[in-house]
Structure 1
């Protein structure tokens, strides 16, 4: 079995399990634990549970055995069509169920193993750096982003600086370059070494070992492995006196990653990482760009200006190449990232990372405190830049969900542009431009319904509105991004075209063709009298509820309730076209889709106890 099949349905159990990994998430005040249930044949082989910081028992660590109560859930599928599919990712990570452990959490067998080096380094950095900068500092050294507050992480994403948090080419290259520079300088101090040793070859070997160690330390994620493989190929090419920065380098890195993790091909990390590098190499191979960027004897001002133009050009090229991939996976693309990176990349490469590395080295003798303070100030400047750029209304561009077929056509055109070296390459612009244009001009969904039926977003003449106005930021972000709407979600109950009681909301809306639609939503678990509810159902075009509705509730067009959502998952509707898109498709045989046991549902009793005032349609 390649992955871990999911739990069939939610279940409340007492679990006894052996801990295989512990990951603190300070930004969310919890610890994430992977464990293998013991003597539990009905549970998946590996489950992931969250433990609140206040409930973490003494002795928790790898090898410990825990006992606790938990409500285990199958890994969550996308909330709405086009959303993030954690179920697919969890399958390949070997996670069969997730949940939050309930206290008391007992240690049956305490851990005797020392925390891994990565965890110790993570904790050490958090002790040395204060404030929001601590999460960024820990991420740069370990690749673990668990200490970054969501507000800062969102600012980094909107400003186009999120790539600095994922250990990739920038970090690996900076580390290997620094190691080679230091080894060359140290060895050159010896006359014998300088005259008789192959200094560059030795330094390159030391840089390669440092790159491999850094990759393993930071978790060997796809961008890091790609960067490490590319760096090793470049070092090998330099050692043989050949130009190693070619598209063959990118292809070799992709081949290595796909041999180890073939499922990475469909993930945004692989696609964005390799697309960015391919764009950089293709641009570097272009004769005119190479001639412009070549080193020459000129003044400091002209050299600095040329460097800024080259950096800006590469940033714009990367932003343009990543745009269709970002639109497909995240429904938004950055616009100002190239300009923000003009400051952020030099700041991170030449200030933050050297200072942090120096602080870590000097901590061995207890002298790192001044350099940690300098690191913190530099990171605060980076965060100030991120928040400043993210606050601009032009920071990101949102669009509705891009279809799979349209995305495929766009990527084929993109690869055509990047891989050809002659004038034929420009033929690929046609499918790229068509794909992006169709995405931005496509009709956005009028109604979005999450898979549990609790949250509904409706497009109005003034924006988007949500049924439950107390919904959290995560739900609001998912609904906004899937609808291609970059604004605050209003409350449906506050709209003039809506009539709401404590338990129900009735709403009139117009679609893109001007047709009137009548919508009815339930928003509580209170039973409603059949004599009134049946009439409301019959008068409505669409009824949405997070509970099972009786058969006699028959709207004119569609009934969406707990039973139908169990089959379809979340929904999006474009009313003018009569289109309904679902998360699950009939006959979907993907192994990460939870197969629920069939239940026999009964109609609601004839007499609902009326405990609310019904709204008037």
Structure 2
């Protein structure tokens, strides 16, 4: 008992030293609960949620009734339980029908979204869907179709019809990989597919258009901008003003990614901060120039209200994705702090923004947008807060803006580089240089010109703002292409294990949020995470969930069984390996003769890939120890393991090693978003 009291007394002392700095930990423990929900191997039963709610309530009661050493433990339990239950509630709130078979036929629906796929094709999202011979109980609420046919003029709210292929959202391309089915579940997508046929208009925008007013306004703004500024410059301008990235070509997008400038496309904290800061400064300066107003009214607070209104309009115009919502919440917290005469930039403001986003969209925690935006913001606020309080020599006045831009770009780049590398498997070696040449121009030219164009648009003079905006964006695209063309501009890194990012995040959060010298403890888990990343072990053999592609690890890198087809899967495998080669080059590595029957020997087994009906005709039997992968239905005599499309539909993609076979379904678990489809269903390798 005496030892327990000593422990509680020490906890009291530690918490006392952290007084005033504990609020930022609230979203951290809420995120831990959310992460635990998504890690569950099976969908938690209702009694699990009830038990956790009771545990959380008990923890909160203990924290409130006996403040002191038990407070921290009580709130940790309460917040983690709340995060777990919030994620479960959200997953069940968005429940909707999911197509569980391959469908080919008429597809009709209302246009509610437009973007561009990785293959540079326009994609349209439809709601109020109608499918031939599909009842309302099995009809998806939303579908997304890539348009590979003739160009179509699409208008928000318009009802269109085409003939196309639809399939359930695809599972992970490899066991433990990114689960698109889960992502589609939270987006409300019940099917995805493509069409090569013309798109016909069934009805113009009409009934129900009120709910799509903002979307229609965004597309109208985007179309007008792209008519004035053609090409990638116009697509870039539409992306930073209306959140419409469908006008940016894949070539430009690849260049922006390789130069670490792709963040300028997404309306995030940079854009929202620049716009609201420009409006705030312009209003405050303008009001201050009128003595009658400056002496009688709080012009600083009036400017804050005006900037908040401008940020709200920008949020609506941008489409309101997670990054933009996070940016708006952060700006709103900062401006509200100005209104109540509190410090505007603080870790409390960042924590409040994270808390609001996690409560509204718990699934955002898993996305790179949430992780990178909050990593950059938290690092910048923590660093400049430390710099403000540190007793360091002050820089000359003329050097402060330059030093601020350099430090901001460097800190944000360092904070987001591991996350970007983990999700996208690339690192830009000249990203800091590219950002130094581009980010200042966004602040001094692009965003002010966009605001000017907005105010002059009612007079028909928007070209006055769009022209200089185009000049700035043309410079940024030029920087991206030049940097991408430099030797060694980009390198590829293998994907980390599942615990690397969480461990790294917790370590760096401890370093930034904890007060005192013990904050340096956070460097230990971050270092361990980096060490684990360097030891990442990639599967020896990977199999696509259609049986159409097999990848074998060789001394030169992963070898693919065919040079074309299943390009999305091939690209993801090679990126996760940290390999920059293309599919054709990887196919040339195959360690055996070409043909429709590919064999590769491992230490304890032999993998045989049967390609198409021609390959199936060449094999009639198999032996023990063989694993046969077929892209067509196959029956063999013999004690081997056969994975044809029918079986792969149940198992998903495969990872094969000397230790055995791991399926994507085993890794993903039995969750609400990946209930296996009926055995009679067949799968389509989506060409998006």
Structure-2-length-normalised TM-score? 0.76
Map of 1:218 onto structure 2: 318
Q: Which residue of 2 aligns with 1:522?
A: 610
**8 Å contact kept, 1:5–1:592:** no
Query: Within 5 A, what are the aligned runs for 1:236-247?
Result: 236-247=336-347
Deviation of 1:104 (Å)? 5.8
Match of 2:292 in 1: 192
**Counterpart of 1:506?**
599
The residue that corresponds to 1:462 in the other structure is 556
Aligned mates of 1:124, 1:12 — CA distance in 2: 36
Tell me the secondary structure at the aligned position of residue 244 of structure 2: coil
Inter-partner Cα distance in structure 1 for 2:552 and 2:492: 17
Residues 461-517 of structure 1, C-alpha deviations (whole Å, 9 max, x = no match):
22333222124764442121122212344557645841122x222345xx7xxx597
Q: State the partner residue of 2:619.
A: 533
**Displacement of 1:289:** 7.4
Name the stretch that deviates more: 188-197 or 274-283.
188-197
Unaligned runs of 5+ in 2: 1-91, 683-688
Give distance in 1, aligned partners of 2:527 and 2:515.
Answer: 20
Paired residue for 2:106, among 7, 10, 14?
14
SS in 1 for 2:263: helix
Are the structure 2 counterparts of residues 189 and 149 from structure 1 closer, same or farther at C-alpha, using a change threshold of 3 Å? same
Match in the other structure for 2:267? 167
Q: Is the 8 Å Cα contact of residues 126 and 135 (structure 1) preserved in structure 2? A: yes
- Tell me, what secondary structure is at the counterpart of 1:356? helix
Distance 1:344 1:420 in 2: 34
2:45 is matched with none
- Counterpart CA distance in 2 for 1:291 and 1:122 is 49
Per mean C-alpha deviation after superposition, the further-off stretch among 586-595 and 424-433 is 586-595
Distance 2:188 2:337 in 1: 37
Distance 1:212 1:496 in 2: 55
Structure-1 residue corresponding to 2:424 = 330
Whether the 8 Å contact between 2:258 and 2:484 is mirrored in structure 1 is yes
Q: CA RMSD in A?
A: 3.1
**Whose helix fraction is larger, Structure 1's or Structure 2's?**
2
Match status 1:418 vs 2:501: no
SS at match of 2:104: strand
1:24–1:31 CA contact under 8 A, matched in 2? yes
Aligned to 1:140: 240
Give yes or no for contact 1:492–1:498 (8 Å, CA) kept in 2: no
Counterpart CA distance in 2 for 1:252 and 1:283 is 18
Query: Could you tell me how far apart the structure 2 residues matched to 1:47 and 1:61 are?
Result: 17
Q: Is the 8 A contact 2:269 2:327 kept in 1?
A: yes
Q: Assess if the C-alpha contact under 8 Å between 2:510 and 2:522 holds in 1.
A: yes
Pick the aligned partner of 1:572 from 642, 655, 664: 655
Equivalent residue number for residue 180 of structure 2:
86
1:59-98 paired onto structure 2 within 5 Å: 61-98=155-192
Greater mean alpha carbon deviation, residues 119-128 or residues 480-489: 480-489
CA–CA distance in structure 2, aligned partners of residues 165 and 355 of structure 1? 16
- Residue 608 of structure 1: aligned partner: none
| Residues 7 and 74, structure 1, Cα contact 8 Å, conserved in 2 | yes
Q: Report 1:94-105 matches (<5 A).
A: 94-101=188-195, 103=197, 105=199
CA distance in 1 between partners of 2:202 and 2:397 (Å)? 70
Q: CA deviation at 1:280?
A: 1.0
User: CA shift at 1:392, angstroms?
Assistant: 4.6
Q: Is the 8 A contact 1:24 1:32 kept in 2?
A: yes
Gaps of 5+ in 1: 602-617
**Contact 1:15–1:68 under 8 Å retained in 2:** yes
Query: For 2:238 and 2:160, how far apart are their aligned partners in 1?
Result: 28
Structure 2 equivalent of residue 407 of structure 1: 501
1:415: Cα distance to partner?
A: 1.7
For 1:330-409, list aligned pairs within 5 A.
330-369=424-463, 371-392=465-486, 394-409=488-503
CA contact (8 A) 2:548 2:566 kept: no
In 1: Cα distance, 2:140 partner to 2:127 partner: 10
Deviates more, 1:344-353 or 1:283-292: 283-292
CA drift at 1:233: 1.7
Provide the rounded CA distance (Å) in 1 between the counterparts of 2:113 and 2:204. Answer: 13
SS at 1:498's partner residue?
Answer: coil
**How far did residue 67 of structure 1 move?**
4.3
Deviation sequence 1:237-267 (CA, Å, 0-9, x none): 2233321211111110011112221221222
Q: Is the 8 A contact 2:102 2:681 kept in 1?
A: no
Map of 2:362 onto structure 1: 262
**Is residue 226–residue 253 contact of structure 1 (8 Å, CA) maintained in 2?**
yes
Report which stretch shifted further, 67-76 or 167-176.
67-76
Larger deviation, residues 267-276 vs 307-316: 307-316
Q: Distance in 1 between matches of 2:668 and 2:265?
A: 39
- In the aligned structure 2, how far is the partner of 1:212 from the partner of 1:253? 15
Question: Is the 8 Å Cα contact of residues 517 and 541 (structure 1) preserved in structure 2?
Answer: yes
Contact 1:283 1:289 in 2 (8 A): no
Aligned partner of 2:145 in structure 1 is: 49
TM-score by length of 1: 0.85
- 1:592 and 2:673 correspond: yes
Which SS does the other structure have where 1:233 is aligned? helix
Query: Hey, what's the Cα distance between the residues in 2 that align with 1:224 and 1:518?
Result: 50
Taking structure 1 as reference, are residues 369 and 63 closer, same or farther at Cα in structure 2, changes over 3 Å only?
A: closer
- For 2:608, what is the secondary structure of its paired residue? strand
Structure 1 residues 527 and 542, CA, compared in 2 at 3 Å: closer, same or farther? closer
1:196 to partner: Cα distance: 1.3
Change beyond 3 A, Cα 1:132–1:183: same
1:375 and 1:470 map into 2 onto residues whose CA distance is: 41
Deviation at 1:382, TM superposition (A): 1.0
Find the partner of 1:545 among 619, 630, 638: 630
SS of 1:78's equivalent in the other structure is coil
Aligned position for 2:15:
none
